[in-house]
Every structure is written in structure tokens, then in C-alpha cells.
Structure 1
């Protein structure tokens, strides 16, 4: 199909032009977005949409291949359009991208439940506003960075290293470590000193 200026028209532009002849603009855009999602596995995300990427971890309970081990073996991002990026941990890290997002990650690396996707951000959670540079003293940032890297015990087996305790959540212990590290810099009202 060509346009009045004899320029070739893309398949998406042709579909949009056809849909506009039979329906209103909003329905035509919805049809194109649905076709894109069905054909590519991605959702069309417009610049006006306030959608944030969502972080996740691949937690392996049992290492089927014998290569990556157990525990948090990879970090990932689920992008607003439904695609996913994964960065593997370990001595030989790599990154991979999937246009079909979570479906592909689970299909390829789920190993019938041996590995699960643990979402770190919720669907309705918006990213935190970035603090103005210089509002948090450098020494407080360093203390916080150190506290975030400090190993915390598993609530089930008390190991500081990766363990195989199903459903063990170290979040509470991590919060205790961070709050203890920041305590000297907080006032009684919870404000930074």
C-alpha cells in the first residue's frame, strides 16, 4: 500500500488507516495496540502514560543444570511494554532480553517450579522521587550502603549465606540492620539530624 506521495506505508500505518475508516480514533488506536501485543507480546506504551519498570529477582530453589546454583541467581526488570531484561549473577554474568517478557522468563528458566520470579516492586507502586543532591550527608549514604551489603541471617536456619529455606524472607532482618545503622543520625521525630 502507498500513501498519496507514493511512499510505502508500514503495515501498522495501513492497519491504523483502515481502522480509522470504520471507527473512531480511540478505537483505531486500541486495535493497533492490541494487534501489536498479540503479534509481538509487547504493549504499546505512549509517552503520556505514567508507567514505571518493575524489578524482580530469579530465585532458584533447585539448580537443574548444575551451573548457576541456588538462591538469587539473576536480577531483572519488567518494562512497561511487557518486555523483560535479565542480568545473571556469578562468575560468568550475562544479560538477556525477552520481547515476550515474564512469559518467556518463566518458560525458559522456571524449570517446572525450581525457579521462581520474585517481584521486588508492586503493580501500583510508583518509583520514589529522587532526593535533591546534597540533602543526605555523604557519611550517612556510606553507612546506609554498608548496611545494605551486610549479610543478614535467614529467619528459618540462621545462615548468613544463601540457603534453601522455602519462603524465607530476610526483609525484616535487613530493615533492622539499616535502621540500626541510621539510628545515630535520626532524631526522636524520625528526621535526619
Structure 2
């Protein structure tokens, strides 16, 4: 039985701690948060950075915003996004469900795409230094991986990259995207590219 002043998350964590260790209980709460809110719990010790993007419009369906880079955005480490529109009447909107919401609302079925912008001072690390040793991956590799993890993957049933009503597992597509993004930094034990 839960105490009346406990939130649902606190009650879930207390229940989980009775059946498993604290780390596993926290992982369960974090996963429930991700599923229910669409955002990831980011801990202070994690070295995650926001990713900048633009909304690039190829067709102006509404006839209002024009063509080209019509908005600037930030994808926050927890998966939420903020978009600031350009033009005479700018506005800012925040999306708790991040990229999925931005694509669903502003993508206009492919007429507008999210294009991520790299930091000017980031240079790709040579494959030999990124793959050797046990040091943390360079920032550019982390960015490439985070971008790959957030890249839309087509549904194997209906081929849509936006959220759909199919109940299909996109895991294989996600793995292919991640491996493709990391391929330049992966080497085999003989030093050859993977």
C-alpha cells in the first residue's frame, strides 16, 4: 500500500526496490518516464549536449513561412525540442515529445525536414585514435551516435518514418542506422576499417 503523499513515480520506485536493487529500480522508473512522457531522464553526471538543427522547407504548403531554413531548433539531451521560427512574426514552441512531434506537426509529409547543424569547432577524430584505447569517445563520435539514434527509421510494414499506427519493431533499422553512422570510427583488431 502506498502513502497518500507519494507520486505515482515514487510509488513505482518503492515497489520496484522491494523486488530488486536500487539501480534496477531506477532504470525501471527511467524507462517508464521515457515511455509515458517521450523524454529521457538525464542525470547530472552524464556528459550530454544539446543538438542544434534547422527546419528546411522544400515546399511551403501553408504559403506562410516560405522556403529554405524557416526555423532554428534545439534537441535537448532529454529528447525534448524547442523550435524558434524565423521571419517577421517569430515565435518559439517547445515539444515534450521532441523530434517525433516536430516532424509530425511541421514536417508536412516530407515537405520540411530536420537538418542537424554541427558545431563549428568540432572536427572528426581520426579512426585510429577514436577506436584505440579505453578513453571516452570524442565529442564528434558522441554527436554522430546521438544523431543516428534520433534519425527517423522507416516502419517495416508501412515504410513511414513518422510515428504510425503499425505495431512494428524498428530495432533492425535503428541498428543499421547506428552502425552506418559509426562505421568511419570502427576498426578491426588488425587496424582495418570494419
Q: Quick check: TM above 0.5? A: yes
Residues 44-101 of structure 1: CA distance to partner in whole angstroms, max 9, x if unpaired? 1111111000000000000000000000000000000000000000000000000000
- For residue 86 of structure 1, what is the aligned residue in structure 2? 83
Distance 2:143 2:34 in 1: 23
SS at match of 1:37: helix
Give the alignment of 1:148-187 within 5 angstroms: none
Structure-2-length-normalised TM-score = 0.61
Distance 2:83 2:99 in 1: 10
- For residue 40 of structure 2, what is the aligned residue in structure 1? 43
Distance 2:28 2:105 in 1: 30
C-alpha deviation, 1:124, in angstroms = 1.4
Distance 1:66 1:83 in 2: 27
* Structure 2 gap segments, 5+ residues each: 119-139, 145-194
Matched, 1:27 2:32: no
Structure-1-length-normalised TM-score = 0.61
SS at match of 2:32: helix
- For residue 105 of structure 2, what is the aligned residue in structure 1? 108
C-alpha deviation, 1:26, in angstroms = 1.2
1:75 to 72, 75, 78: 72
C-alpha deviation, 1:24, in angstroms = 1.1
2:143 to 125, 129, 146: 125
Matched, 1:11 2:8: yes
C-alpha deviation, 1:125, in angstroms = 3.5
Distance 1:125 1:27 in 2: 27
C-alpha deviation, 1:25, in angstroms = 1.2
* Structure 1 gap segments, 5+ residues each: 127-193
Distance 1:107 1:32 in 2: 27
- For residue 171 of structure 1, what is the aligned residue in structure 2? none
Larger Rg over CA atoms: 1
- Segments of 4+ moved more than 2 angstroms: none
